[in-house]
Amino acid sequence: MKDNERIEILSQRLVTWAKWFVKQQVACGDICVDATVGNGFDTLFLAECVGPEGKVYGFDIQQSALDKTKKLLSEAGLLDRVYLFHDSHSNLGTYLSHSTVKVVMFNLGYLPGGDHSLITKPETTIQALKAALPLLTTDGIITVVSYRGHRGAMEEYNAVNVFLSEINSKKYRVFCIDILNQDNLPPVLFVVHRYR
Ligand SMILES: C[S@@+](CC[C@H](N)C(=O)[O-])C[C@H]1O[C@@H](n2cnc3c(N)ncnc32)[C@H](O)[C@@H]1O
């Protein structure tokens, strides 16, 4: 990597860092999951990453988010490789029980531009992480962008932090990127790598 590229990523938002980690791992033909579809930007990104032979599974509890995402993917000509489910990510194991998954992306919190009371919650987020871990293929990753500013966010961040701190270290390594000297409680990025 050239010096100017390194500076580029360091100045980006954590959602861009999450995508950077995904890019390092994903290959054409992989199966990936967007656990929080929202406006569909991460789903679109994953659909581009997996290529025509790959598949992306997306989950959201808001039909309006899924409709918007469907339109975005359709306009990009990538809808055929994406399966969208109007369901909680805590049920993702039901849809993917026989799959091995390369990447699961979580961008927690509320839908930007939507109803700010419809947020991800600690219990369902932890259930979803529990469901996602055994599906990961070796060298697969889970990215979690976790917020701390909105009501209920700190509880969710703490729950994710505690849960991920205790997962099997013989199979998974967990990285945490936290900006220590920024005001207003910035988000944190967790990256779980299944190395064995
Ligand atoms: C920060 S937004 C996601 C942004 C999105 N990844 C994008 O690229 O635009 C969080 C989303 O999580 C969704 N959500 C909340 N609880 C959920 C759950 N239990 N299962 C799946 N999605 C959920 C919300 O409806 C919201 O659309």
Tokens of 47: 């659909």
Q: Which two tokens stand for residue 62?
A: 């808001």
Closest residue by CA, ligand 1 atom 19: 88
Let me know if residue 6 belongs to a domain.
no
Chain position carrying tokens 């939507």 = 114
Query: What are the structure tokens assigned to 10, written together?
Result: 């360091």
CATH number of the domain to which 82 belongs: 3.40.50.150
> Where are the extended beta strands (E) located within the chain?
31-34, 55-60, 82-86, 101-107, 136-146, 172-178, 188-194
Query: If DSSP states are collapsed to H, E and C, what string results for 93-136?
Result: HHHHCCCCEEEEEEECCCCCCCCCCCCCCHHHHHHHHHHHHHHE
Asked if residue 22 belongs to a domain, the reply is yes
40-93 per-position pLDDT tens digit: 999 999 999 999 999 999 999 999 999 999 999 999 999 999 999 999 999 999
Mean pLDDT, range 20-46, rounded to an integer = 98
| Atom nearest to 39 CA in ligand 1 | 9
Q: Percent of the chain, pLDDT > 90?
A: 89
- Distance from C-alpha of 119 to C-alpha of 184, rounded to nearest angstrom: 19
Phi, psi values for residue 38, rounded to 5°: 55, -130
In a domain, 30, yes or no: yes
Q: Which of 111, 143, 150, 156 to mutate to test the pocket of ligand 1 (most atoms within 8 A of CB)?
A: 111
In a domain, 164, yes or no: yes
CA of 119 relative to ligand 1 center, distance in Å: 7
Which residue, chain included where needed, has tokens 């789903």? Answer: 43
Domain that holds residue 69: 13-194
Atom of ligand 1 nearest to the CA of 42: 8
SS3 44: helix
In a domain, 32, yes or no: yes
Mutate to test the pocket of ligand 1, among 13, 32, 37, 104 (most ligand atoms within 8 A of CB): 37
pLDDT tier for residue 2 given thresholds of 50, 70 and 90: low
Does some domain include residue 2?
no
CA distance 182 to 1: 27
Best probe residue, ligand 1, of 43, 61, 142 (max atoms within 8 Å of C-beta): 61
Total number of domains constituting the chain = 1
Averaged pLDDT for residues 158-165: 98
The predicted pLDDT at position 113 comes to 86
Q: Which two tokens stand for residue 70?
A: 């469907």
Closest C-alpha residue for ligand 1 atom 16: 120
Binding-site residues, ligand 1, Cβ < 6 A:
36, 38-42, 59-62, 65, 88-90, 107, 109-111, 118, 120, 124
Provide the pLDDT confidence category of residue 117 given band limits of 50, 70 and 90: confident
Q: What's the pLDDT tens digit per position in 167-185?
A: 999 999 999 999 999 999 9
Whole-prediction pTM: 0.96
In the reported structure, the alpha carbon of residue 11 is separated from the centroid of ligand 1 by a whole-number distance in angstroms of 25
